[in-house]
Amino acid sequence: MRIETINKLCCSFDKADLKLTITLKDIDENILEGILICDECKRVYPIVSGIPIMSPDEYREFKIEQPLLKRLTKDQISDNFRLIEEASEQQPLGG
Ligand SMILES: [Zn+2]
């Protein structure tokens, strides 16, 4: 995915701007791996194989994403990720 395209993305929950951290690019400067962090809600969206994973919370599995996020963020921001394990015990808002 090209950086111009990723820069147009916003948080799917609050439409806030996302901060992009690129961890892997190809020779054409396409983004292959990285993370997008929402300034507002601190959600973390991984970019995998050039595809930003921006599914709603209910379609995300923290256990599946955890190893990836750990690798991408090197543990720097894992405590900011919304789908941390203790959060899964709470009732969803408005649900
Ligand atoms: Zn947000």
- What pLDDT digit, counting tens, does each position of 43-56 carry? 888 898 899 988 87
- Domain residues for 32? 3-89
* In-domain check, residue 39: yes
* In-domain check, residue 94: no
CA of 60 to the centre of ligand 1 (A): 15
* In-domain check, residue 46: yes
* In-domain check, residue 54: yes
Residues 6+ apart with CB under 8 A from 71: none
Per the structure, the count of domains in the chain is 1
* In-domain check, residue 71: yes
Range from 11-15, 29-33, 55-59 carrying the lowest mean pLDDT = 55-59
Residues 76 and 11: their CA atoms lie apart, in Å, by: 20
CA of 10 to the centre of ligand 1 (A): 8
CA of 52 to the centre of ligand 1 (A): 14
* In-domain check, residue 25: yes
What is the residue-wise DSSP string for 41-68? T--EEEEETTEE----GGG--HHHHHHH
Provide the pLDDT for residue 59: 79
Mean pLDDT of all residues in the chain?
78
- What pLDDT digit, counting tens, does each position of 71-89 carry? 776 655 544 455 444 444 4
CA of 84 to the centre of ligand 1 (A): 15
* In-domain check, residue 95: no
